[in-house]
Structure 1
Amino acid sequence: MDDLLDAAARLIAIRSTADRPGELSAALEYVLGRVGPGFTVERFLSRGKPSALVHTGGTRPDFRVILNAHLDVVPAPDELFRPRIRDGRLYGRGAQDMKVAALVMADVFRELAPVLPYPLGLQLVTDEEVGGYDGTAHQIDAGVGAGFVVIGEQSGLRVVTESRGILQVRLHATGTAAHAAYPWLGDNALLKLLTGIERVLTRHPLPGHEVWATTVNVARVETPDAAVNQVPAAAVAWLDIRFPPEDRAYAGRTREQVERHLRDLSGLEVSVDGFGAPHRADPDSREVGLLRAAARDAGFGGDLLRKHGAADGRFYSARGVDAVIFGPGGDGQHGPGEYADLATVAPYRAALVTFLRALR
């Protein structure tokens, strides 16, 4: 554990955010160094985002299992890149999401890949926090596939077989500029925009508790005006929409169909910036059963879990490959108090080893 904690502290100290390509590469190289020599490392690069696929042998095999980990993190103040341990918790940006899990996966791969009776892959990416299109999705487009995928996102050793889809859109309103003293001479675009947002929120009201339903976050509202004494002639809102497979207004639809639906709903022009399908794996599959049993052997319940956030498993799910999220515990993801629960790290490693050894 001491060796792992030292490695985790070093990895957390690397500011591997999307705007720092050098640090993304540094984080990738650090984990590849942890894996060590004697393996084939395939390197990928898409739009400045590096990733790697590690396996045994010279030719890429048909993987029975891929362990998937992302090494990028969301931005944070300087102090969150100075990891600290307190009360059995490792605090720092990326401690929970998901640098500790990435190191555990690297260690398990190093130990088991040479001896398992099937091909095991380790997939390391650096763009999950900004969509995953240049890491996991890029590798899949390049022909990487597997029979089953374990993504090390945090789950408290529960097995995540479902997660909601993601839709990121902008609503656009236009009007007529005027002097603020004579508003009747103008047409306020911002007021139109707020009316359109209200229509969307009426269809998808903000829940007061956890629900498995479509939710909408209004992330930004802005106009190009620099003066307060102007009637805005243009305004835009940024929305983040998360939806389950059951919501057929979004799930199973094309970008154009979703755009049309939101245009009719809001009465505004719509731009779709990001659109990812919900993720689902068969909860009754043999692999999920073995992984749940391995979690129970490690002292946890092996429960199934639905996740509200999107992860890279959706890219495999879209290709008909079962992918689950299975990671250690912690809390505070993307927040100032993010931490990994160190009491779950050794059981998490043990569960991965048990699962991979049991699988044939």
Structure 2
Amino acid sequence: MSQIIALTKKFISIPSIKGNSRALKEVLDAALAEVKGYCVDFFEKEGIPSALIYNSKARRTRFKIILNAHLDVVEGKDKQFTPFEKQGKLYGRGAYDMKTAAAAEIILFKRIAKKLNYPIALQLVTDEETGSNGTKFQVEKGVKTDFVIAGEPTDLNINFKAKGTIWAKVKFFGKSAHAAYLWQGRNPIWNLKRFLDSIQILFPLPAKKAWRTTVNIAKVETSNLNMNKVPNNCEVSLDIRYVPVGQNRFSSMKNANFYIKKLKEVLPANAKLELMLVRTPYSIKKEDPYIGTLQEASKKITGKKRRLVGEPYGSDIRYFIEDGSRGITFGPVGGAMHSENEWVDIKSLDQYCKILESFLLFAQKAAFTT
């Protein structure tokens, strides 16, 4: 456990955020220094590095299991990159999402991968938070697996499904005027307000985590820089996390199209909708034998099976699922993801490591269908 905590602190102290190419390389190098003696394939796309480490002399055409971890984090204040422990918790940017789980996967892989009788790989990427030049690129280059576990935050529950994502920008247009004669202009911010009022009615904010569609107003902007001027433009950026509609398959684009149509129905006549990103929801069957094996491992370590949950966030396992594989996210207990006081529970980290180890060992004798 001390090794994992020490490695996590080293990771947290490196500000591996988007645009900091030196830090992204540094955190990947720090991770790879832990797995010397294993074969490593390096990947890079658009300056974004990633790696695949495996327990055989040559890369297999298909692995049985891949442990996936991302080493990048969202931006934070300088003090958040100084990790510290307090009352059984480890604090710092990425403690929960997901440098602690990454350190656990790395130390576990290092210790037992060569003892396993099946092909296993450790996948380390540096752009999960903001791009697709890591895991997606590796999948495009032929990296395949029967099952993937990503150590994303789940509080020791098993996340087998995730919402889809739509990032959209809506632009509004008006007419400039002097603020003292504002009736001579047309302020588009009023149209933006009415649009957002409609969005709030369509997709009310839930009081707690729920399997329903939500819309985050991520940014509101205008090019106007003057207090005494009626702006002639403004725009709003939306992050929509949506659930499948009716009996539609999770992977069906009918789901995204349903919500895009809803947006268009409440747009003012002169507004313009721009889609920046569209990702479908994904899921695997609750009865998947790999989930059963993970439950068996959990019961051995904690005395009980874990809850099966659907999380509102997406993750890199989507690229494997879209390629025909199966996968889940599974991580330790923590809180304040992407917030100022991000933390992970150290006791749960010990359970997490033991559950993962038992799962990998159980997988040696389990017969899985693909």
**TM-score of the superposed pair, with normalisation by structure 2:** 0.92
Between the aligned residues of both structures, percent identity stands at 32
Is residue 305 from structure 1 mapped to residue 304 from structure 2 by the alignment? Answer: no
Q: Which residue of 1 aligns with 2:215?
A: 216
**Mapped partners of 1:256, 1:319: distance in 2:** 22
CA distance in 2 between counterparts of 1:250 and 1:257 reads 13
Give the deviation of 1:352 after TM superposition: 1.0
Q: In 2, distance between residues paired with 1:250 and 1:104?
A: 31
Aligned-pair distance for 1:184?
Answer: 2.2
Alignment-mate amino acid for residue 78 of structure 1: D
1:121-132 aligned within 5 A: 121-131=121-131
Counterpart in the other structure of 2:290: 287
**Kindly tell me: are residues 34 and 139 of structure 1, through their superposed partners in 2, closer, same or farther at Cα, counting changes over 3 Å?**
same
The AA in structure 2 aligned to 1:307 is E
- The whole-number CA distance in structure 2 between the counterparts of 1:319 and 1:59 is 18
Secondary structure of the structure 1 residue equivalent to 2:175: coil
Q: 1:160, 1:257 → 2: CA distance?
A: 25
Alignment of 1:230-269 (within 5 A): 230-246=229-245, 252-253=252-253, 259=260, 261-267=262-268, 268-269=271-272
Contact 1:249 1:258 in 2 (8 A): no
Following TM superposition, by how much is the alpha carbon of 1:241 offset from its aligned partner in structure 2, in angstroms? 0.6
Q: Which residue of 2 aligns with 1:328?
A: 332
Structure 2 counterpart of 1:29: 29
Deviation (angstroms), 1:250: 9.9
Give, in whole Å, the separation in 2 of the partners of 1:327 and 1:198: 37
2:51 is equivalent to residue 52 of structure 1:
yes
Counterparts of residues 1-360 of structure 1 (less than 5 Å): 1-37=1-37, 39-55=38-54, 56-131=56-131, 133-246=132-245, 252-253=252-253, 259=260, 261-267=262-268, 268-299=271-302, 300-359=304-363, 360=366
Helix, strand or coil for the counterpart of 1:309?
A: coil
Following TM superposition, by how much is the alpha carbon of 1:2 offset from its aligned partner in structure 2, in angstroms? 2.0
Partner AA of 1:344 in structure 2: S
Query: Matched residue of 1:16: which SS?
Result: coil
Q: CA separation in 2, counterparts of 1:90 and 1:116?
A: 31
Task: Give per-residue Cα distances to partners, 1:169-197, cap 9 Å, x unaligned.
Answer: 11111111111222222121111122222
What SS does the aligned partner of 2:169 have? strand
Determine if contact 1:90/1:341 at 8 Å carries over to the other structure: yes
In structure 1, the residue corresponding to 2:171 is in which secondary structure?
strand
User: Is the contact between residue 71 and residue 126 of structure 1 (CA under 8 Å) also seen in structure 2?
Assistant: yes
Paired residue secondary structure (1:113): helix
**Secondary structure of the residue that 1:109 maps to in structure 2?**
helix
Deviations 1:267-287 (A, max 9, x none): 331111122221212110110
Task: Provide Cα deviations, 1:64-120, integer angstroms capped at 9, x if missing partner.
Answer: 111000000111111111111111111111111111111111122122322222110
Does the residue aligned with 1:17 lie in a helix, a strand or coil? Answer: coil
Q: Secondary structure at the match of 2:180?
A: coil
For residues 66 and 249 of structure 1, what CA distance do their matches in structure 2 show? 26
Name the aligned partner's letter for residue 179 of structure 2.
A
- Find the aligned partners of 1:249 and 1:324 in 2 and give their Cα distance: 18
SS in 1 for 2:129: helix
8 Å CA contact 2:188–2:234 kept in 1: the answer is yes
Amino acid at match of 1:218: I
Unaligned runs of 5+ in 1: none
RMSD (Å) for aligned C-alpha atoms: 2.0
Using the alignment, how far apart are the partners of 1:53 and 1:296 within structure 2? 30
- SS of the counterpart of 2:348? helix
Maintained 8 Å contact 2:60/2:119: no
For the residue of structure 1 that corresponds to 2:115, the secondary structure is: coil
Output the CA distance in 2 between the equivalents of 1:303 and 1:345.
17
Q: Against the structure 1 CA distance between its residues 65 and 251, is the aligned structure 2 distance closer, same or farther, given a 3 Å change threshold?
A: closer
Cα offset for 1:208? Answer: 2.5
Q: Count the aligned residue pairs.
A: 358
1:293/1:302 contact within 8 Å kept: no
Unaligned runs of 5+ in 2: none
Give the secondary-structure state (helix, strand or coil) at the position aligned to 1:228: coil
Residue 14 of structure 1 aligns to a residue whose secondary structure is: coil
How far residue 324 of structure 1 moved from its aligned partner, in angstroms, is 0.2
Per-residue deviation, residues 4-55 of structure 1 (Å, max 9, x unmatched): 2222211110110112111011111111111122x22111112221111111
Which amino acid is 1:281 matched to? Answer: I
